[in-house]
Chain A
């Protein structure tokens, strides 16, 4: 079960399990934004490497326009995944 919701014009929320089967849905949703984008991951229970790749791709896309990607409310598993892939050095964390 996975859902993606718009919280405001510069914030979206990922909910549930973000696996490879959700790649197209998330890509289509996120690529509409051209702002400094906050991702609320409080209810994201799982992310795979495919999910990480989509977030990194959008980080580079927004960064090239002068914007940032801010992540907030990561659970322990998600934090570990970012740490092991050194992506904690790339994104801004709102803790």
Chain B
């Protein structure tokens, strides 16, 4: 997936062309939903918030500057809505349980041999530190590039690299801990 949306689609959407807005929705809705589900832990809330992201996108499109990666810009909207959501519901962004990281020596069975279901993944993700969870969700559930993730979170690429490494390690440890349900 490219870092940049074909500029013509975004430009057309900025001009209010409904087809182009539909194309942007088609292109990004699944990934936005995956990110929001991972962050919220609630499927229905993620569904609702996904719609809000694109509604917000329509209003904000005139202010989008093509010099910035479109996906990063879109994820900033999603992230801002998440923060609003947390404020509205007066809840912290998922339990901040510190993961007890177990590394490779804990289990010889590789994760590839497990069936990694989205439910298992979300249970494990919920136990990650927030910053790690955010980076892991953007990088590996939504498919953002390193640069896009850095732009979306307003962090350096070096910081994203470190967070994704620690996040994956912690996540792996948590998945190893959890019994695989047949």
Q: Do A and B truly interact?
A: no
